[in-house]
Amino acid sequence: MLAAARSRLRRLEPAEAAQALAEGSGSVLVDIRPAAQRAAEGEIPDAVVVERNVLEWRFDPTSDARLPIATGDDLQVIVICSEGYTSSLAADALRQLGLRRATDVIGGYHAWAAAGLPIRGGG
């Protein structure tokens, strides 16, 4: 299932994800890790926190429970989890909703932090 999901994504290295966000190209970084994991590992400043169990209806442009930024299928939702596994499945689910630019970060939060990209907190 993971391999199939990843075959449908153009996954981003952490630096590529940071660049997409900096360019302001209609991209948003979405952290799907649970609160306890974010507290233990740290957080990414400016990431939108949407835990995995509510992701689809928060980003479905047709949902009454969508976030204000979820206005169309051209938004690039860059999903990040702890190590880059759950995020691949989540990004693929968003693609199935019609968010054709949805993707994830290779290696997840751990790779983001190891690349020296902005983080705060954590143990």
DSSP one-letter string for 33-54:
--HHHHHHH-B-TTPEE--GGG
Q: Which domains does the chain have, with CATH numbers?
A: 2-114 (3.40.250.10)
| Amino acid 123: pLDDT | 66
pTM assigned to the model? 0.96
Q: What is the pLDDT of residue 73?
A: 86
Instruction: Give residue-wise pLDDT tens across range 38-75.
Output: 999 999 999 999 999 999 999 998 999 999 999 888 89
Range 3-12 average pLDDT: 97
Res 12 pLDDT > 90 = yes
Which pLDDT does position 11 carry in this prediction?
98
Tens-place pLDDT, residues 93-115 = 999 999 999 999 999 999 999 99
The contacts of residue 45 (CB under 8 Å, 6+ apart) are 118, 119, 120
Q: What mean pLDDT do residues 14-23 have? A: 96
Task: State the average pLDDT for the chain.
Answer: 95
d(CA 100, CA 109): 23
- Give the C-alpha separation, 43 to 92, whole Å: 23
